[in-house]
Amino acid sequence: GAVVSQHPSRVICKSGTSVKIECRSLDFQATTMFWYRQFPKKSLMLMATSNEGSKATYEQGVEKDKFLINHASLTLSTLTVTSAHPEDSSFYICSASGGATTDTQYFGPGTRLTVL
Amino acid sequence: GENVEQHPSTLSVQEGDSAVIKCTYSDSASNYFPWYKQELGKRPQLIIDIRSNVGEKKDQRIAVTLNKTAKHFSLHITETQPEDSAVYFCAATPGKLIFGTGTRLQVFP
């Protein structure tokens, strides 16, 4: 149980385009989903927290208009990187909580974004 | 806000030896402390967690201890195997996970 999927696993795009990443909880209802960014050989940096049906809470320094988060249902959250630039290239990972133990987070497999 | 420090950053052990990774946290309100294992290019996998009402928890070769007074918690891996090689992250939360900086564990055959 507690499986989280994420799509796409890899994406390469041109500078200036927008990219959408989907995060799904497959076998439980995720009351809260989280989006992280991870640079090579670094820890996970929380970008934002989203609760179903409400606006996401962004961490300090994360641009809301740059990283659009939507949590439209209890099983799906999306992150859209708008007008992507090479510095946005990174490993983006989502997690979801709301399973049997509400504070436990289960992670998706991540999306490697490369902006040319 | 919460701040989590993790040591060491790298750890090399011989197969069969024990490995210990230590973390400290700053927010006394933190009440949940998970440990994640991450292999290269993969998702973090929860390996064990502990809540603030418990001092120690064990699952086969893995154990975690928590000292609330000192605000530190540790991961202990006994009888290490090469497949234990990975990056391990501690985290603390009341609400949102704040991760430590990670420990790269290498187990040599």
Which residue among A42, A105, A110 sits closest to B97, beta carbon to beta carbon? Answer: A105
**Model confidence at B32: pLDDT above 70:** yes
- Residue A85: CB partners within 8 Å, gap ≥ 6? A15, A16, A115
Q: CB of A10 within 8 A of CB of A110?
A: no
Q: What does the pLDDT look like over B35-72, one tens digit per residue?
A: 999 999 899 999 999 998 889 999 999 999 999 999 99
Cα dist. B27→B34, B81, B91 in Å? 15, 34, 12
Distance from CA of A95 to the nearest CA of B (A): 10
Average pLDDT for A4-26:
96
- Among B31, B37, B99, B106, the strongest candidate for a mutation testing the A interface, having the largest count of A CBs within 10 A, is B99
**Model confidence at A109: pLDDT above 90:** yes
Rounded Cα distance, B25 and B85, in Å: 25
